[in-house]
Chains A and B, each alone.
Chain A
Amino acid sequence: MPDTPESPAAPPQGPVLFYTPTLVDHFVNPRNVGELPDSETDGYGLVGDPSCGDQMKLWIGVKFGRIARIAFKSYGCPGAIATSSMLTHLALGLTLEDARRLTDDDVVEALGGIPEAKKHCSLLGVKALQAALDDRERREAERPETAKP
């Protein structure tokens, strides 16, 4: 299911070695880029890949048990940016339980594959989502009982 790019950019032209058109699209027009304000953030994750220096920050906002808002920022190679974008695209709207079950293989499959050397990139987004979900659980546990919905 194609969705609307947030910012129109020049369409890819010419052959782009190694990468699928879907991956290039998510690199050129990444979905859900940005940060959520504190007031809308229910969980936040920051993860790094020590093997290549890539880094991802992920914010989630939860409503009625589902991921209602999601935003990310990533430093890294095209694989890191595209897998981050696809991860947010897949996670948006999922129940927290389903979001927990997202794997790096789901991200790679949705991108139509990824070069072997870039496989490790796809873990970045999954780890960031897990970290944000963990953070959300911590915040829930710390909230006074009366404030829980």
Chain B
Amino acid sequence: MIYLDSNATTPLRPEALEAMLPFLSERQGNPSSPHRAGHEARAAVEEARRRIAARLGFEPEEIVFCASGTEADNLALRGVTRALRKKGRHLVTSAIEHHAVLHTARDLERDGWEVTSLPVGPDGAVRPEALAAALRDDTVLVTVMRANNDTGVVQPVAELAALCRERGVVFHTDAVQSAGKLAERPGDLGAGLVTVSAHKLYGPKGVAALCVRRGTPLSPVTTGGGHERGLRAGTENVAGIVGFAAAVDLAFEALAADGPRLAALRDRLEARVLARVDGVRVNGAGAPRVPNTSSLSFRGVDGESIVLGLDVRGICVSTGSACSTGDPEPSHVLLAMGLGPRAAQGSIRISLGRTTTEADVDATATALLETVTRLRAISSAPDAEG
């Protein structure tokens, strides 16, 4: 199997698994317990918190562990709006956010919040001018992702965060698709809140962090035993947090070598596909992108059919965000970039990983050529554009 869907999830690093195993067997204490078993678990969680904080550019007490990136995004949006509900009633997001942000913003809209969705240019990037124009006196929160999951396009988060700081508005960025892929500490972007998820950087599923810069107004969404400084109640996922720390360390250590290697493989794949297949476009090619992601649109064929055509050849790619699999709606990200519904429907996302080889990429380019050619021969609309 050739797995090229790393933006959906990545395999657990063996080193992370190794670090986790004791906490799934003999070291089973609850970090809140007042005895040696509890102390042992607490020590492991706090050691992991220190390591993760250092890599991400935060203080240990600024890390709030959650069960998923989606949960962390929910805490950021719901927690900030809740804390500031007397200060304003407006929040700003972008048209290309992950559903974790998009649908949460929509839910807040039903609660009476006004939401402005920033457009993106044809390159898939938000323009800081658009944010400057959208900010109002009653804006309390701006949330724009660091890298888009479908296209890999990197958003100008530092500029957006600076604008918000000038205006005294809280800024959140979902850095799930950039952490461990871009040579940067998310904490250096100037955001008040940052979401990072373990399983996108070779850690375990079921654990993530919301990094909350000291002084950022945030109310809890989950209440209970006062865990995570009262911001996220619930017994800590000790093994998950330990595995998260191991994965974060390894991801940031590997960054300098993996980044350029993946970018070269991605560029090789795109060059091969463009040279051999007619009617292809690379979405977001004009903007800076995370090195592992390629969004391709093929004229006259459907993306799901390409995905199944590659799947039967043992190659795993995606039509886009895994959350919308089975959903007939084309990618909201590609539509926001100005692609027509047909072109958006004819799109796939290829996301490389740390074990991807040149042979994988070449086999994928060949399989794509064969699959698309076959589907176009079946297609009743082989020349249909957008």
Contact = CB atoms under 8 A, between A and B. Distances in A.
Given A10-B313, A14-B1, A117-B328, A57 B304 contact: no
B328 A24 contact: no
Contacts of B302: 54, 75-77, 80
Nearest to B374: A9
A12 B345 CA distance: 24
Contact of A73 (B305, B327, B345, B378): B378
Among A16, A56, A75, residue most surrounded by chain B Cβ atoms (within 10 Å): A75
Interface string A71-85: 011111110110000
Given A14-B314, A16-B312, A80-B302, A74 B380 contact: yes
B312 A75 contact: no
A81 B378 contact: yes
B180 interface: no
Interface in B334-386: 341-342, 345, 374-375, 377-382, 384
A76 to B, nearest CB: 5
Contact of B312 (A10, A72, A81): A10
A55 B381 CA distance: 8
B202 to A, nearest CB: 22
Contacts of A65: none
Contacts, number: 71
Given A77-B302, A78-B304, A78-B305, A117 B327 contact: yes
Contact of A13 (B304, B312, B341, B374): B312
B4 interface: no
A127 to B, nearest CB: 13
Contacts of B311: 14, 16
A128 to B, nearest CB: 10
A52 B313 contact: no
Interface of A: 9-10, 12-14, 16, 18-19, 24, 27-28, 30, 33, 46, 51-57, 72-78, 80-81, 115, 117-118
Interface of B: 1, 300-302, 304-305, 308-309, 311-314, 326-328, 341-342, 345, 374-375, 377-382, 384
30 contacts: A10-B313, A13-B313, A14-B312, A14-B314, A16-B312, A24-B308, A24-B312, A27-B308, A33-B377, A33-B378, A52-B328, A53-B341, A53-B342, A53-B345, A55-B381, A56-B380, A74-B380, A75-B381, A75-B382, A75-B384, A76-B302, A78-B305, A78-B308, A80-B302, A81-B305, A81-B375, A115-B326, A117-B326, A117-B328, A118-B326
